Amino acid sequence: MKQIVGVADMKVSNNPAESVITYSLGSCIGLVVYDPAVRVGGMLHYMLPESSIDREKAVARPFMFADTGIPILFKSAYQLGAVKSRIRIYVAGGAEILDQKGFFNIGKRNYMALKKMFFKNNVIIHKQDVGGNTNRTVRLEIGTGDIYVKTSGAGEVKI
C-alpha cells in the first residue's frame, strides 16, 4: 500500500507492507526519518523555512514550514516507538532556479533551516540529495527502510 505525503503534509507508519511517497519536491524539502530497529518511518514535505512569515497559516498547516513541521515529524515517529539515537535521516529536495541568489533562494533556505535545527538538537543527516536544478520524488519502504529517489524524466534510483 502507498501512503502519499502531499505538499505541506506528513505521514508516519509502522506497517511493513507500506510505502511512503512524496512527489515533485521542487524547492521544498522531503525529510525522511527511519528507525530500523522497530521499522518505523516517516516523511515530511515542507515548503518554506520559517513560520514567522505567517503564524496563522502555521497553526492551520504546520507541515508547511520547517520549524513547525520537523518537530511534529520526530514526535510522531517517537509515538510509534522510534528512538532518537537509532533514527536514520535522509533529506531530499531544496532545488533552486538558476541564478536564484541569497534570500530569494527558497530551496537553500529550506535546507539551511533544517541544518540549523539539526545542529541545535544533535541530529546527523545520514544521506542527502539536495540542491541543484532537478525535481525529485522520494519513496520510503517501511519494511526495509530502503529509500528511492526519482528525478523527472529519469528512472527511480535506490539510495
Q: What is the closest distance, in whole angstroms, from the C-beta atom of residue 59 to another protein in the complex?
A: 11
- The distance of closest approach from Cβ of residue 129 to another protein in the complex, given in angstroms and rounded to an integer, is 13
- CA angle 103/90/146 to nearest 5° reads 150
| Binding track, positions 5-44, relative to another protein; x by CB under 8 A | -xxx--------------xxxxxx----------------
Phi, psi of 75 (to 5 degrees): -60, -40
DSSP code, position 8: T
Radius of gyration of the chain (CA): 15
Q: Which stretch binds another protein (CB under 8 A): 32-40, 80-88, 118-126, 147-155?
A: 147-155
Element (H, E) at 55: helix 55-60
Report the C-alpha gap between 82 and 66 in whole angstroms.
20
Q: Which three cell numbers stand for residue 144?
A: 526495509
| Residue numbers 53-92 binding another protein by CB under 8 A | 53-54, 57, 60-61, 64
Question: Catalytic amino acids?
Answer: 28
Q: Which residues bind another protein (CB under 8 A)?
A: 6-8, 23-28, 47-48, 53-54, 57, 60-61, 64, 95-104, 106-107, 132-135, 151-154
